């Protein structure tokens, strides 16, 4: 994996400091189609107040860039409610529609257990960290 270029875009709602921060990075890596993987790093809470922001960022990325792989890094996420789970599934649907592999990484224990209990872990490609996700 090589990091040739990093493009960042941050969004922060006008909510309290524990809201949501989204950073988008282009990572040039050795993928089958030679394209660029994009990592969306999320920090804060993904809930009814912030889920729309996350979906808008990912939807915009999928429609404008068409990455070789889209990795959603949730290592900085403290809490995900049902709205956040809904956004994960909408992002998966949107990525599938664009034929872009969608990978989630960096889950905390509570979120991992929630996805396992609901069997959503069988639908999502979950990796331990971004490095594992980039290896594909």
Domain ranges of the chain: 10-135
Look at residue 20 in the predicted model and tell me its pLDDT: 82
Look at residue 123 in the predicted model and tell me its pLDDT: 97
Look at residue 24 in the predicted model and tell me its pLDDT: 78
Fold of 10-135: Transcription Regulator spoIIAA (3.30.750)
Closest CA relative to residue 77, chosen from 136, 118, 22, 12:
22
Look at residue 28 in the predicted model and tell me its pLDDT: 60
Look at residue 6 in the predicted model and tell me its pLDDT: 35
Rounded to whole angstroms, how far apart are CA atoms 76 and 65? Answer: 24
For the entire predicted model, the pTM comes to 0.82
Look at residue 91 in the predicted model and tell me its pLDDT: 97
Look at residue 30 in the predicted model and tell me its pLDDT: 56
The per-residue pLDDT for range 92-117, each reduced to its tens digit, is 999 999 999 999 999 999 999 999 99
Give, in order, the Cα–Cα distances in Å from 116 to each of 1, 19, 112, 123.
Answer: 30, 25, 6, 10
Look at residue 32 in the predicted model and tell me its pLDDT: 58
Are 53 and 13 in contact by the 8 Å Cβ rule? The answer is: yes
Which residues of the chain carry a pLDDT beneath 50?
1-15, 17-18
Look at residue 31 in the predicted model and tell me its pLDDT: 54
């Amino acid at each position: 994996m090589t990091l040739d270029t990093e493009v960042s875009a941050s969004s922060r709602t006008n909510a309290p400091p524990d809201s949501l921060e989204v950073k988008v990075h282009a990572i040039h890596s050795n993928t089958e189609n030679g394209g660029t993987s994009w990592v969306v790093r999320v920090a804060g809470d993904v809930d009814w107040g912030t889920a729309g922001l996350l979906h808008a960022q990912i939807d915009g990325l999928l429609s404008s860039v068409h990455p070789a792989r889209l990795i959603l890094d949730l290592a900085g996420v403290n809490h995900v409610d049902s709205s956040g789970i809904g956004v994960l599934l909408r992002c998966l649907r949107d990525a599938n529609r664009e034929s872009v592999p969608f990978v989630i990484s960096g889950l905390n224990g509570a979120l991992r257990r929630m996805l396992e209990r609901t069997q959503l872990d069988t639908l999502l490609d979950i990796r331990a960290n971004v490095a594992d996700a980039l290896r594909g």
